[in-house]
Structure 1
Amino acid sequence: MAETETFQISLDAAEVYESKFVPAIFAEWADRLVEAVDVAPMQAVLDVACGTGIVARTVADRIGSGTIVGLDLNAAMLAVAHRLRPDLEWHQGDAVELPFPERTFDRVLCQMGLMFVPDRARAIREMARVATGGSTVGIVVPASIGEQPAYRELASIVADEAGAAAAVLIDTYWSCGDLDELRALFSSAGLTHVVARTHLGTARFRSADELVATEVEGSPLITQIDDATYTRIRERARTALEPFATQSGSLHAPLRGHIVTGTVP
């Protein structure tokens, strides 16, 4: 992959992200990440690549006070974030050039966003730069596609039906799952006491069609395929994802992810 997909999306896609991705996937991981970094009242917390702000909202609900800031490159994501929580701070900016002074935040978090950053090493260095001494930087990323049995099926179908360019959009999600590389990124940024944890979560959808719609319509993939291709992807996914259906007809797709934390000296 020559260039990392940064996923600039429309407001409609951002609304799909919030209404579908967040309850199905990201709310679960936001809780785990916030727990892993041990946020406390009165802390200053930065949510990098915040999307529509589920991590920042989770922090706000947990600590009730403090300075809670979300930053994202995508204006549409921030528009939804501001609509949902106008009381929090939302900034447009790049993870590789955070617009904050050194030693500003007590916790710096990034959930399911590092894989979309072209220079991941620089992004981690920036997170460490803006964190206070003794504070924690924590990230969540999905494990590699080989560890995702349900999503591996969908990725294969998309590649087959929509071609290599579309497959890159799906592959980007799973491109940051090497634990050794993640630990090295943290260590090279000067972070100490680096801890990597792998968890098995569950992506919960009402049906296989809803999972496909979320993945396709909540990303730039929807702009790169025609209606006929989309129909074929849905039809094939219904069969391929049958092993993950529940007795009630909903779909529970296993989703393995890595939480990595490090301490700022």
Structure 2
Amino acid sequence: MTTPRSATETFQISAEAAELYEARFVPAIFAEWAPLLADAAGVRPGQAVLDVACGTGIVARTVADRLGGTGRVVGVDLNEAMLGVARRVRPDLEWRQGDVAALPFPERTFDAVLCSMALMFFPDRTAALREMARVIRPGGVVALCVPAALDDQPAYGPFVEMAVQHAGPEARSLLGAYWACGDVDELRAAVTAAGLTRVGTRTHLGTAAFDSAEALAVTEVEGSPLAQRITPEVYERIRAGARDVLAPFATPDGTLPAPFRGHLVAARTPGS
């Protein structure tokens, strides 16, 4: 996942927010999906692999470990703060600043392009997929994972609705953007429209692991611009509300293994 960017909202991520992303979001959610995405792409030693919208680089790091020092791994992201964290964590990998609308690579550069939890933030998803396909060699793989729709999220759905009640409609836009690409039929249609041949679709029910319901609320609010747009009183009501709406998923010791559903899609370029 990366700096969220949509047609209606541009998220500007500070260095502090990027460090928060690495410290909270990656272990809580995204580390589980990185190996699943690598599996979907069939990543193997010797390949050249691009991690698009790499954020702080969990997918690129996972792929690099699988390649075992062979091949090439590149992470590209629009936000320099995210890349700063990625470089700090894995200085041995290649990190590039760039936009998915115009990837800074020649045609047919990579064997696989992976994109984790970011497609929903691209203003033109089909165009982004075409650009990913452009830098793939014939027969190469584009693999994606996205969160399922908010209505299909047993924990996050009630949480977002509660936050909207306290913070107003803007909270739905800021917290709901993550789930905007969760319709499987629309996802498949975008892949086909980009000239790719879908080879596999899988829905996985994972876990967003937090120390508490309040920790989930803090991570979601402070990981978005919502934190700067609400009063301390509203923030406290959201944190208290999270304890109530997420209580069904909490363990006796208070930790929160919240269910998190997502979709994985793999597609090939012509020439396979």
In which range does the TM-score fall when normalised by the shorter chain? over 0.9
- How many angstroms apart in 2 are the aligned matches of 1:4 and 1:258? 24
Q: Letter of the 2:35 partner, please give it.
A: D
- Residue 91 of structure 1 corresponds to which residue in structure 2? 96
SS in 1 for 2:179: coil
- Residue 166 of structure 2 corresponds to which residue in structure 1? 161
What's the C-alpha RMSD, in Å, of the aligned pairs?
A: 1.1
Deviations 1:231-263 (A, max 9, x none): 000011101110000122200111000001101
Equivalent residues of 1:110, 1:139 under 8 A apart: yes
SS in 2 for 1:173: helix
- How many angstroms apart in 2 are the aligned matches of 1:264 and 1:253? 36
Q: CA deviation at 1:8?
A: 2.2
Identity within the alignment, %: 61
- Which residues of structure 1 form unaligned runs of 5+? none
**Aligned residue pair count:** 264
Q: Letter of the 1:251 partner, please give it.
A: L
Equivalent residues of 1:105, 1:132 under 8 A apart: yes
- Residue 113 of structure 1 corresponds to which residue in structure 2? 118
Normalised to the residue count of structure 2, the TM-score between the two structures is 0.94
- How many angstroms apart in 2 are the aligned matches of 1:68 and 1:55? 10
The question of 1:252 aligning with 2:257 is answered: yes
- How many angstroms apart in 2 are the aligned matches of 1:41 and 1:84? 22
- How many angstroms apart in 1 are the aligned matches of 2:10 and 2:267? 25
- Correspondence for 2:225 among 216, 220, 226: 220
- Residue 8 of structure 1 corresponds to which residue in structure 2? 12
- How many angstroms apart in 2 are the aligned matches of 1:129 and 1:3? 23
Equivalent residues of 1:52, 1:81 under 8 A apart: yes
Deviations 1:174-226 (A, max 9, x none): 00001111111111111114321111001000101111111111122211112
- How many angstroms apart in 2 are the aligned matches of 1:115 and 1:61? 27
Matches for 1:14-29 after TM superposition, within 5 Å: 14-29=18-33
The question of 1:63 aligning with 2:101 is answered: no
The question of 1:196 aligning with 2:201 is answered: yes
Q: Letter of the 2:15 partner, please give it.
A: L
Equivalent residues of 2:191, 2:198 under 8 A apart: no
- How many angstroms apart in 1 are the aligned matches of 2:268 and 2:196? 5
Q: CA deviation at 1:4?
A: 4.2
Equivalent residues of 1:33, 1:138 under 8 A apart: yes
Equivalent residues of 1:186, 1:194 under 8 A apart: no
- Residue 186 of structure 2 corresponds to which residue in structure 1? 181
The question of 1:80 aligning with 2:85 is answered: yes
- How many angstroms apart in 2 are the aligned matches of 1:181 and 1:153? 24
